[in-house]
Structure 1
Amino acid sequence: MLARIIKPRKLSCHFQLASRNYSDFSHVVIGGGVVGTAIASELQKVSGNSVLLVEKNQGLGLETTSRNSEVIHAGLYYPPNSLKAQLCIKGKEKIYQAWDSDPNFKSQVPLRKCGKWVVAQSESEIEYLEKLSKNATDLKVPVSMISASMAAKKYPLIRAEAGALESHTTGIISAHDLTHYYQSVFEINEGTVSLNTTLKDIQFNQGVPNYTLNLFDDENGEFEIQADNVINAAGLYAAEISNLLLPNKISPYFAKGTYFSFEPETPISSSKITEVLIYPCPNPNASSLGTHLTFDLGGQLRFGPDLEWLDIERAEQIDYTPSSDNLQAAYEAIKTYLPLITPQALHPTYSGVRPKVVSEIENKKAFADFIIRDEKNQGFAGFVNLLGIESPGLTASWSIADYVRDIYH
């Protein structure tokens, strides 16, 4: 059965009563990106649950989800005790297991386990790779070292003067199709979707207890529903949603990344350049993995994202226009591992923005983990906040959904 699309004027004849018979839904998930859709899907599988997924756009996965590099991350960069490490690795494994064993998943979600090289150009960068290899081993993420001579023999157009670290379980996936798969599971289990719908306010009814959500539909105006539990998976808007309810206010930060297409003056097959993703060793003073080489499922090479912290206070102020001002810096970064690149071969194509929980300065000082927590310590039991869900959020989406589901059990 397809998900029922709520129309506010007909809400009273469409809702299902939750277990306490006070609420219209057992759970409301705010945000229909890949993570929010995955959460709604897993919650709706639980017997007795009635889940509403609220999305402000006209479809699911049209914002941050549609603006990423579509990499299945192996999980080798993150501290072993972090949520990013644990959920990235579990999410990666769930995706690959489903692709290997579930014909429906395999037919709906194209992916490729292509692998990745992190390339080093100096002895200091080799030392970094050795530490990265140790971290990967601690996490049980399969990697192997590649000598400079082996790297040159395999991909002579890639510069890896000191060697490379190969990640065997890195891949690429269609973010759109993964979101659509989660949506299809949600619909089969009779979950409810409300598109073109914005959360305007939320109140906690302590005596019940449950939550009243004031929503606005673009076509029909304002309406109100009640839910036993609320999950804030609003991505770039998550801090704003949290601040509607919680007394401890959160300052949002935003980091923009521009992607560049590759159009060389002399045509060259992408497979002659590389058949694995290529990442540079991160700059120790940077707060990203650097401008790397990826490709889509059709084999088209692209580079990015770079990193630009935005001086804005709200997500609605984001300008996604990719700027040519960043092209020279991208060229300088890329030519360290792909000497054949020229500025004329690079063209800014699109950009994405990451929701950050710390400022640029704080991000350089310490590792910033996912925040996924039930806000019961602030007096709002059942309100689960997801903050700073940036990379590797796509890879971790399925395991994030499991993590949130388990909070309620």
Structure 2
Amino acid sequence: MPPVAFPASLCLAKRFFRSTTALSSDFSHIVIGGGIVGVATAAELQQEPSNRVLLVEKHGALAQETTSRNSEVIHAGLYYPPTSHKAQMCIAGKNKIYDACKRGTFQVSLQRCGKWIVAQSEADEEYLGKLASNARELDVPVEMVSVKKAKRDYPLIRAERAILESPTTGIISAHDLVMFHEARFENSDGTVGLNSKVTNIEYNQGNSNYTVTMETDGEEIELTTDNVVNSAGVFAAEVANMVLPEPRQYEYYFAKGNYFSYTPEQPLRQKITDKLIYPCPNPNASSLGTHLTFDLGGQLRFGPDLEWLDITKPEEIDYTPNAKNLTPAYEAIKTYFPAITENSLVPSYSGIRPKLLSREQSQSQFADFVIKEEEGLPGFVNLLGIESPGLTSAWAIAEHVKSIYHK
């Protein structure tokens, strides 16, 4: 078989993959989507000596969408049903991050700051009791903090009824985490294709492989692969539907999360908090509420809120933060931070949650990650509905995908 020639943008450090007569496909795996989950998955698959992995990203750089538009929180995993992918992947991903940090081989900026979930009403307090029970069943450390102690330590934070502390919650640089997995992928001779948009996928039943068509640098190319991992983020449903029969196709719903930067109008004479502060969340954790977080430099920010979008295609997404949501965000925040003023908030940025349940369905059902090899499509693995806690879960999801191929 002659060498597979790629445009320059499809090659990382000008490395060209050359097919050999021993291989029937150009690649063993094509991973679609260069967000944190796609990069981690490609890196994990490339650790197998027999694999030749191509990571395809439509943008000119990795991690330009959901990964770069989140709270950068290392979630503890206490909110989700014990048997769910969200719980299992979040806890395993968190542990991998902290374990790698302990070993000293993980050059990623992070801080294990912990968080408080604050209850203002009897219903909130009852919810915290159930959440603590769920955490204990998951073996996630939690402890109750007395309201008296909270007022002494952080007098600007309001918690009328109860506080549940999650000491294994932290914050991390999403950019550094992507670079860590990108380096793992590069160092094991993986290939990255930037500016490469997948336009079609076809299963070749006779060869038991796939033809992936993509546009790159204004031209259309076709590559064959034994396996496909669909980690296309907000575009994952569209990619899945390229190859799935119509009765099994997926529909995405999009929810926007707006973030607000904070600059106090008057200097505050007291420390606000060293902990992340979360209100009690919406039903089924479709949103964890407009919470107080900070970055690794200590700059406070609030968000995300939850704004369902009336769109059906990811191409229609407008990432401009919605200024109309500032007042509702202020009203939500002042329930646990009464000193805040509306004028101290400014719309900053937004992210999108790709959801498999509608607004109405989300009120009564729990939406788990979908991580599955599709029936009748051997080697085609879908990663769908990867919203929060996707950043924390990425490394564990990558290992899980690898286990599907290498049992």
Aligned match of 1:189: 188
Q: Residue 19 of structure 1 contacts residue 48 of structure 1 at CA under 8 Å; is this kept in 2?
A: no
The aligned counterpart of 1:79 is: 81
Name the structure 1 match of 2:61.
59
Residues 128-181 of structure 1 show CA distances to partners (whole Å, capped at 9, x for unaligned) of: 111100000000000000111111111110001112000010000000110010
Alignment length (residue pairs):
398
**1:384 aligned residue (381, 385, 406):** 381
SS at match of 1:273: coil
CA contact (8 A) 1:25 1:228 kept: yes
Give the partner amino acid of 1:338.
F
CA distance in 2, matches of 1:133, 1:49: 43
1:10 Cα deviation after fit: 9.1
Give the residue type in structure 1 aligned to 2:383. Answer: L
Write the distance in 2 (CA, Å) between the matches of 1:333 and 1:10: 46
- Contact 1:18–1:25 at 8 Å: present in 2 too? no
Q: In the alignment, is residue 400 of structure 1 matched against residue 386 of structure 2?
A: no
Q: 1:273 to 1:9 in 2, by over 3 A?
A: closer
SS at match of 1:401: helix
Question: Counterpart in 1 of 2:260?
Answer: 260
- Residue matched to 1:243: 241
What does residue 301 of structure 2 align with?
302
Question: CA 1:27/1:279 → structure 2, altered by over 3 Å: closer, same or farther?
Answer: same
Determine the structure 1 residue equivalent to 2:223: 225
Which whole-Å CA distance do the structure 2 matches of 1:87 and 1:93 have between them?
Answer: 10
Structure 2, unaligned stretches of length 5 or more?
none
Q: Which residue of 1 aligns with 2:342?
A: 343
Assess, with a 3 A threshold, how the Cα gap between structure 1 residues 312 and 160 changes in structure 2: closer, same or farther: same
Q: Percent identity?
A: 60
Alpha-carbon separation, structure 1, partners of 2:154 and 2:20 = 58
- AA aligned to 1:44 is Q
Question: Counterpart amino acid of 2:231?
Answer: A
Contact 2:371 2:384 in 1 (8 A): yes
Alpha-carbon distance in structure 2 between the residues aligned to 1:349 and 1:398: 28
Deviation digits for residues 263-292 of structure 1 (CA, Å, limit 9, x no counterpart): 1111337x8000000000124487311000
The whole-number CA distance in structure 2 between the counterparts of 1:18 and 1:146 is: 62
Aligned partner of 2:16 among 9, 14, 17: 14
| Structure 1 vs Structure 2 CA RMSD | 1.9
- The answer on whether the counterparts of 1:252 and 1:356 sit within 8 Å (CA) in structure 2 is yes
CA distance in 2, matches of 1:95, 1:183: 15
Is the 2:142–2:166 contact (alpha carbons within 8 Å) kept by the matching residues of 1? yes
Name the CA distance, whole Å, in 2 between partners of 1:18 and 1:172.
45
| CA distance in 1 between partners of 2:74 and 2:21 (Å) | 38
* C-alpha distance in structure 2 between counterparts of 1:20 and 1:209, whole Å: 16
Q: Distance in 2 between matches of 1:268 and 1:198?
A: 49
Q: 1:20 to 1:244 in 2, by over 3 A?
A: farther
Structure 1 SS opposite 2:50: coil
Q: Distance in 1 between matches of 2:98 and 2:303?
A: 25
TM-score by length of 1: 0.94
Report deviation, 1:252: 1.2
Residue equivalent to 1:314: 313
1:364 deviation in Å? Answer: 1.1
> Which residue of 2 is the match for residue 164 of structure 1?
163
Judged with a 3 Å threshold, the aligned counterparts in structure 2 of structure 1 residues 291 and 22 are, in CA distance, closer, same or farther, namely same
**Which residue is equivalent to 2:98?**
96
Tell me how far 1:241 sits from its aligned partner. 0.2
> Is 283-292 or 142-151 further displaced after alignment?
283-292
1:135 equivalent in structure 2 = 134
> Matched residues in 2 for 1:186 and 1:174: separation?
19
Q: Alpha carbons of 1:296 and 1:228: their partners in 2 closer, same or farther (altered >3 Å)?
A: same
Partner residue, 2:41: 39
Distance 1:286 1:47 in 2: 40
CA contact (8 A) 1:70 1:173 kept: yes
Question: Is the CA contact (8 Å cut-off) linking 1:16 and 1:25 kept in structure 2?
Answer: no
CA distance in 2, matches of 1:358, 1:138: 26
Change (3 A) 1:361 1:96: same
Name the CA distance, whole Å, in 2 between partners of 1:20 and 1:310: 49
* Cα distance in 2 for residues equivalent to 1:131 and 1:278: 19
Change (3 A) 1:283 1:26: closer
The answer for the alignment partner of 1:330 in structure 2 is 329
Whole-Å separation in 1 of the counterparts to 2:285 and 2:52: 44
Alpha-carbon shift at residue 127 of structure 1 (Å): 1.1
CA contact (8 A) 1:197 1:216 kept: yes
Gaps of 5+ in 1: none
Measured in 1, the distance between the counterparts of 2:67 and 2:343 equals 29
TM-score by length of 2: 0.95
Matched, 1:178 2:181: no
More divergent stretch after superposition (120-129 vs 74-83) = 120-129
Equivalent residue, structure 1, for 2:202: 203
Tell me the amino acid that sits aligned with residue 351 of structure 1. S
Contact 2:256 2:309 (C-alpha < 8 Å) held by counterparts: yes
Q: Structure 2 counterpart of 1:70, which letter?
A: E
